Amino acid sequence: MKNLSVIIPCYNEEPNIPEIYKRLSAACKEFGDDYELVFVNDGSEDNSWYAITRLAEGDNHIVAVDLSRNFGHEIALTAGLSTALGEKVLIIDADLQDPPELLSPMMKMMNEGADVVYAVRKTRKGESFLKLFAARIFYRLLGTLTEVKIPFDTGDFRLMQRKVVEAFLAMPENPRFTRGMIAWTGFRQVSILYDRDERFAGKSKYNFRKLLHLALDAISGFSVKPLRLTFYMGIILVFLGMAMLGYVIWSWNAGVAVPGWSSLAVLLIFLQSCQFIFLGIIGEYIGRVFTEVKKRPLFFIREVKRGNGK
């Protein structure tokens, strides 16, 4: 058992690794020497693994975990959490957008009784207006669809007690939406405000497509309300159809029936698009069931290197 573990998922983060190592080590040392830095190499195509193993050669606080391929950020986090031995566990990005120096006030809040201290972004440098706008809409939507309340400016940067990590690891679901799953576990969760910096080096690994996938995984993983919505929409459409029928009979009786191809065409397009949307929603859930019933392991570890040296 360690006092403190830090999980750092890395996908093509070579230029950031020495810097995050330096700043994290300084932040951890404040709480004694009984800590470990778990670097998870998520199938990087650059020399990240080499950079991590170099660190491990000189420092026995390093745990270097090499995944067998790129599994994505969420799974890399789970791999790190299942390797960590700490009584308290910090999750942090490798790109220094999350300042390691926040560990100190987070620890203070934890010692005052919190089980999870999650960091909420007061400001975000270097993010596009569109991304911030989309994030705001997404968290609002997630909030109305589910019972898990996730503040819209929260990432995975958080400090957790061991019991929360165990609760999280007891959830075998796939795909995983880490921040939502941790919020779902309950316990005493408190927030801390911080200013999110720009990336130290390199580019963001999340493009619009990946963010959309994450959003869909989050919604289908936490709510069946979209399925209900299709049912309610169906009922509304039945009433609409009945009203339409009433109008047709009336106009036929009153002798004002005109060749109504345009209204028919509009109706057809409308109903067809509804059907496709509903099929898509159902498909989303079937896809999830498909992934779940296969019960594949979430990840494979190619190698773990524990640091030696001083």
37 counts as binding ligand UDP under rule CB under 6 A: no
Q: Which residues pair with 4 in a beta bridge?
A: 35, 88
* CA dihedral over 144, 145, 146, 152, signed as positive or negative: negative
Residue 93 to residue 90: CA distance in whole angstroms: 10
Binder to ligand UDP among 4, 11, 49, 61 (CB under 6 A)? 11
204 counts as binding ligand UDP under rule CB under 6 A: yes
Binder to ligand UDP among 51, 76, 181, 215 (CB under 6 A)? 76
Give the one entry of Mg ion, ligand UDP, none that residue 41 binds, where binding means its C-beta sits below a cut-off of 5 to 8 angstroms depending on kind. Answer: none
Give the interface segment with ligand UDP, choosing from 110-118, 135-143, 185-193, 199-207 (CB under 6 A): 199-207
In our burial notation (b when 16+ CB lie closer than 10 A, e otherwise), range 164-178 reads bbebbeeeeebbbbb
Site string for ligand UDP, 206-225 (x = CB under 6 A): x-------------------
9 counts as binding ligand UDP under rule CB under 6 A: yes
95 counts as binding ligand UDP under rule CB under 6 A: yes
DSSP 8-class letter at 185: H
Residue 46 CB: number of other CB atoms within 10 A?
14
Count CA atoms closer than 13 A to 262's CA, side-chain side. 1
Shortest Å, Cβ 46 to Mg ion: 16
Shorter beta-carbon distance to ligand UDP: residue 205 or 288: 205
Binder to ligand UDP among 78, 97, 146, 220 (CB under 6 A)? 97
Residue 99 to residue 194: CA distance in whole angstroms: 9
Shorter beta-carbon distance to ligand UDP: residue 92 or 114: 92
Write out the H or E segment, with its range, that includes residue 253.
helix 225-254
Distance of CA 243 to the CA centre of its chain: 44
Q: Which residues bind Mg ion (CB under 5 A)?
A: 93, 95, 97
Binder to ligand UDP among 6, 13, 89, 148 (CB under 6 A)? 13
133 counts as binding ligand UDP under rule CB under 6 A: no
Residue 7 burial class via C-beta count within 10 angstroms: exposed 0-12, middle 13-18, buried 19 and up: buried
Residue 165 to residue 248: CA distance in whole angstroms: 62
Q: Which residues pair with 119 in a beta bridge?
A: 192
Give the interface segment with ligand UDP, choosing from 57-65, 114-122, 135-143, 198-206 (CB under 6 A): 198-206
Give the one entry of ligand UDP, Mg ion, none that residue 42 binds, where binding means its C-beta sits below a cut-off of 5 to 8 angstroms depending on kind. Answer: ligand UDP
Q: Which residues pair with 305 in a beta bridge?
A: 64
Binder to ligand UDP among 6, 36, 62, 72 (CB under 6 A)? 72
73 counts as binding ligand UDP under rule CB under 6 A: yes
Provide the binding-site residues for ligand UDP, judged by CB under 6 A: 9-11, 13, 42, 70, 72-73, 76, 93-95, 97, 204-206
